[in-house]
């Protein structure tokens, strides 16, 4: 009989004491149904919880050897918790799922089928989120529109962290060293063959969402900075536009007022001319900032230290 493939399931946790028994029970049920083909490890990453989450996880780990537990010394954030889980995972495929049960664990079999069919990244796409507020829905729409407009990596709208990664994808992801990260953006940057699972997100079972409005805004800004150089170059673009427009307008004023002797009777005053000159100089300054930004962009690319290339497979090496 062939050896069963090991599947790692990563569950980041922050103050989820009421949800942990629920997500554990449902995961165990799903894994049990796949036991003929797969064996599993369930990696809980406690992101500095302040409730009894760690004690509950310890109890689960003591009675079930499939449960592995990482505890942070403080709250470092979900993205770092997911990264820690990926680094610790040993499976041939690695599944990421939230602890609040908005991601239905029962779809795990479908993710594995896509993986067995050759997909290296299987992404859960949220078709609908129950009780999603208008502000959050509008913010999500704007984020993906802006990100895909200015970003160097196209991010799939309504894609979630509910996804499965092949071992080779995990190994490449673990090479990243940048600290302010959006995991799904980095995974999209890697490439690899993708497939999708569409689902309706359930209501959060218990507790409050770890990501409030301010945290979501901060995460969005981090995403813009990490995956796009457009904000850095914006001053240069504005400077080029202002310099061009004010330069053309200033040249027109000089010709009309001093060469054609104000033939059109526009009567440009001295303060107006000074204003146009100041606008031109502001454009020059912004253009210079844009040039500096190009050098900063090169430094940014080196400091981020992403791999120069990603190899899917090798032959005859």
- Sheet of 67-71, strand order: 67-71, 38-46, 5-13, 93-96, 159-166, 121-129, 194-201
Largest separation between any pair of C-alpha atoms in the chain:
97
- According to DSSP, residue 204 is labeled P
CATH number of the domain located at residue range(s) 5-227 in this protein: 3.90.550.10
Kindly report, residue by residue over 263-309, the tens digit of the pLDDT: 777 777 778 878 888 888 888 888 888 778 777 766 766 666 666 54
CB 14 within 8 A of CB 49: yes
CA distances from 204 to 19, 208, 210 (A): 9, 8, 11
pLDDT at 316 over 50: no
Q: Which residue, 88, 86, 39, is CA-closest to 65?
A: 39
Separation between Cα atoms, residue 281 and residue 287, nearest integer Å: 10
The mean pLDDT of 191-210, rounded to a whole number, is 77
Task: Give the tokens for residue 199.
Answer: 């689902």
Residue 72, C-beta contacts closer than 8 angstroms, at least 6 positions apart = 45, 46, 47, 48, 80, 81, 84
In this structure, what are the phi and psi dihedrals at residue 166, rounded to the nearest 5 degrees?
A: -70, 160
Question: Chain-wide mean pLDDT for the chain?
Answer: 81
pLDDT of residue 114: 94
Task: Give the tokens for residue 82.
Answer: 């997911």
Number of H helices, E strands in the chain: 10, 7
Separation between Cα atoms, residue 123 and residue 58, nearest integer Å: 30
How far is C-alpha 6 from the chain's CA centre? 27
What does pTM read for this prediction? Answer: 0.69
Task: Give the tokens for residue 286.
Answer: 């912004």
Task: Give the tokens for residue 129.
Answer: 């989120």
Separation between Cα atoms, residue 170 and residue 183, nearest integer Å: 11
Q: Which residue, 231, 222, 226, 237, is CA-closest to 291?
A: 237
The mean pLDDT of 67-79, rounded to a whole number, is 88
Of the listed ranges 22-31, 46-55, 294-303, the one predicted with least confidence? 294-303
Separation between Cα atoms, residue 119 and residue 43, nearest integer Å: 23
Conformation bin of residue 219: beta by default, left when phi > 0, alpha when psi is -120 to 50: alpha
Separation between Cα atoms, residue 160 and residue 140, nearest integer Å: 11
Interhelix angle 20-33/53-63, nearest 10 degrees:
30
CB 89 within 8 A of CB 95: no
Domain ranges (residues) in the chain? 5-227, 230-304
Kindly report, residue by residue over 137-184, the tens digit of the pLDDT: 676 667 667 766 766 666 777 788 899 999 999 999 998 887 777 788
More confident residue, 93 or 240: 93
3-state secondary structure of 184: helix
């Amino acid at each position: 009989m062939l050896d069963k493939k090991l599947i790692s399931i990563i569950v980041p946790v922050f103050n989820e004491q009421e949800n942990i028994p629920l997500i554990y029970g449902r995961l165990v049920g799903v894994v049990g149904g796949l036991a003929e083909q797969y064996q599993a490890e369930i990696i809980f990453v406690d992101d500095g919880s302040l409730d009894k989450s760690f004690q509950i996880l310890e109890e689960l780990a003591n009675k079930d050897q499939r449960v592995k537990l990482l505890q942070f010394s403080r709250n470092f954030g979900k993205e770092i918790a997911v990264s820690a889980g990926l680094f610790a995972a040993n499976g041939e495929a690695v599944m990421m799922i939230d602890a609040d049960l908005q991601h239905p664990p029962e779809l795990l079999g479908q993710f594995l089928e896509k993986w067995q069919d050759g997909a290296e990244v299987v992404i859960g796409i949220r078709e609908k989120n129950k009780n999603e507020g208008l502000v959050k829905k509008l913010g999500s729409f704007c984020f993906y529109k802006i990100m895909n407009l200015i970003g160097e990596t196209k991010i799939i709208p309504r894609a979630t962290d509910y996804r499965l990664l092949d071992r080779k994808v995990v190994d490449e992801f673990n090479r990243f060293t940048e600290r302010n990260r959006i995991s799904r953006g980095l995974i999209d940057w890697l490439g690899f063959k993708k497939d999708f699972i569409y689902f309706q997100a359930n209501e959060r079972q218990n507790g409050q969402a770890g990501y409030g409005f301010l945290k979501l805004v901060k995460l969005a800004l981090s995403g813009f900075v990490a995956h796009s150089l457009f904000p850095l170059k914006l001053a240069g673009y504005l400077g080029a536009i202002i310099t061009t427009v004010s330069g053309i307008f200033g040249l027109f004023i000089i010709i009309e007022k001093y060469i054609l002797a104000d033939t059109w009777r526009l009567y440009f005053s001295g303060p107006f001319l000074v204003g146009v000159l100041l606008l031109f100089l502001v454009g020059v300054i912004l253009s210079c900032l844009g040039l500096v930004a190009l050098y900063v962009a090169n430094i940014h690319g080196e400091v981020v230290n992403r791999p120069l290339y990603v190899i899917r497979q090798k032959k005859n090496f």
